[in-house]
């Protein structure tokens, strides 16, 4: 069966009868990774490498009774050592020593209030969420790397038997980009309704902006069709994407005109757990032909290696794309083998980005990964594709 709307939320509250005042859940793992990338001719035709060792602890503490009942503390510290010989002109998100850390309290009526460094995601999109400019990508582009949270205060509460409303104020922690104002706080209001009556239906609406981003509004929808098929859509619109500084070079995507971006997808989920999805992507904030030929602009949305999480720029450079993605959690009929593969095809200009990752778990205590990617682009998009091909070997060891 196809999955309902994906959400990057953390653990649910433990509703079991726990006799201890405080209880805990944790996961401790060690990741080792070795990456190699080949830069295109326009970026030096170099062979670059990165090696990293990272210890990841995901810890949750819950209070089950007494005055603190309903309190949850989530901590995700990281300890990393890395060596990287890739060009400094191609910035890349390094591991954050403190991926998440927040305190949350749930009242007896189901209202949740919290503050701290947190990651939030929603919607049916496979790679990029148009309605979530605070966390625009879901990590699928760089699956062996954390997406760190951002400092925020948040609250959510039930508004009906099927609906829930959420509000947050966050520090977007945006990187400086010449000509764009990235200061201030980001505010968001979101409502989501869910119905489970034979089929699963999810409907959401979002209004947000600030912290460098122009005010925007959008919505998302997902509905299961029988036992295997799921249809989804997500769109957002704003008068410009980010806020340009007066007198500086103004990107076409930040001009004072209304633009929109969105996705539409169809997924098929097999009884084995495998899923294949086709997604069409429209980007009304595309770079102009002149911007695509500017070496100071063309590679900025991707930061050289995939959608940037900390730049007030749209992560796609052209207007229309098609994405084909498949996941096989039981490759060869064996739960220890997994495969993920996708093909992202630009439809306006010639560009292709392919990725595949196969993993093998010899035991429950370790998983090995092999990831390969290859990109190509025509002359019009050459500067926006700095990496021609790359690969990595990684291992996760669980304690």
**Would you state the pLDDT for residue 343?**
96
Cβ-based neighbour number of residue 87 at 10 Å: 15
**Would you state the pLDDT for residue 140?**
83
Q: Rounded CA gap, 155 and 326, in Å?
A: 35
**Would you state the pLDDT for residue 303?**
55
Query: Does residue 51 contact residue 95 with C-beta atoms inside 8 Å?
Result: no
CA distances 369 to 12, 127, 337, Å, are: 28, 20, 10
Q: Rounded CA gap, 349 and 322, in Å?
A: 12
**How much is the pTM?**
0.90
Main-chain phi, psi angles of 390, to 5 degrees? -155, 165
The kind and range of the H/E element at 265 are strand 258-269
Query: Does residue 264 contact residue 235 with C-beta atoms inside 8 Å?
Result: no
332: helix, strand or coil: helix
- Please name which of 250, 243, 314, 304 lies closest in space to residue 281, comparing C-alpha atoms: 314
For 198: left if phi > 0, alpha if psi spans -120 to 50, otherwise beta; the answer is left
CA distances 350 to 209, 292, 318, 346, Å, are: 33, 13, 10, 6
Largest CA distance in the chain: 66
Beta bridge partners, 187, equal 169, 209
**Would you state the pLDDT for residue 340?**
96
Query: Does residue 393 contact residue 305 with C-beta atoms inside 8 Å?
Result: no
Cβ-based neighbour number of residue 199 at 10 Å: 12
**Would you state the pLDDT for residue 95?**
66
Query: Does residue 296 contact residue 250 with C-beta atoms inside 8 Å?
Result: no
* Tokens (6 digits) for 130: 């148009």
Number of H helices, E strands in the chain: 1, 20
What sections of the chain are H helices per DSSP? Answer: 289-292
**Would you state the pLDDT for residue 93?**
59
**Would you state the pLDDT for residue 90?**
63
Hunting for tokens 């070496």 — which residue is that? 295
Q: Which residues of the chain have pLDDT under 50?
A: 1-15
**Would you state the pLDDT for residue 307?**
62
Q: Rounded CA gap, 47 and 174, in Å?
A: 29
């Amino acid at each position: 069966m196809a999955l309902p709307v994906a959400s990057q939320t953390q653990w649910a509250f433990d509703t079991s009868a726990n006799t201890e005042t405080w209880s805990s859940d944790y996961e401790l793992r060690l990741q080792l990774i070795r990456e190699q990338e080949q830069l295109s001719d326009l970026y030096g035709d170099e062979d670059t490498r990165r090696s990293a060792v990272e210890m990841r602890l995901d810890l949750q503490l819950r209070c089950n009774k007494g005055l603190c009942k309903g309190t949850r503390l989530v901590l995700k510290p990281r300890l990393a050592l890395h060596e990287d010989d890739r060009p400094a002109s191609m910035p890349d998100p390094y591991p954050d020593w403190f991926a998440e850390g927040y305190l949350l309290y749930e009242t007896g009526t189901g209202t949740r209030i919290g503050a701290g460094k947190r990651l939030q995601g929603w919607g049916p999109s496979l790679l990029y969420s148009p309605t979530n400019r605070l966390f625009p990508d879901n990590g699928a582009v760089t699956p062996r790397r954390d997406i760190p949270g951002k400092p925020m205060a948040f609250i959510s509460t039930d508004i009906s038997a099927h609906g829930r409303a959420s509000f947050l104020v966050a520090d977007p922690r945006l990187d400086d980009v010449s000509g764009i104002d990235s200061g201030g706080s980001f505010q968001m209001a979101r409502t989501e309704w869910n119905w489970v009556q034979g089929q699963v239906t999810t409907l959401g609406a979002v209004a947000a902006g600030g912290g460098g981003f122009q005010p925007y509004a959008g919505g998302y929808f997902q509905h299961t069709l029988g036992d295997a098929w799921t249809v989804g859509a997500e769109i957002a619109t704003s008068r410009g994407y980010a806020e340009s500084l007066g007198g500086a070079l103004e990107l076409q995507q930040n001009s004072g005109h209304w633009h929109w971006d969105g996705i539409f997808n169809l997924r098929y989920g097999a009884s084995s757990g495998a899923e294949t999805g086709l997604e069409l992507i429209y980007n009304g904030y595309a770079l102009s032909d002149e911007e695509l030929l500017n070496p100071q602009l063309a590679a900025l949305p991707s930061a050289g290696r995939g959608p940037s999480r900390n730049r007030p720029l749209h992560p796609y450079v052209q207007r229309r794309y098609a994405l084909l993605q498949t996941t096989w959690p039981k490759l060869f009929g064996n739960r220890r083998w997994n495969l993920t593969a996708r093909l992202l095809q630009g439809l306006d200009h010639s560009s292709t980005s392919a990725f595949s990752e196969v993993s093998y778990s010899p035991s429950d205590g370790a998983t090995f990964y092999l990831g390969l990617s290859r990109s190509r682009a025509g002359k019009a998009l050459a500067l926006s594709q700095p990496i021609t091909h790359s690969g990595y070997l990684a291992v996760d060891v669980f304690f």
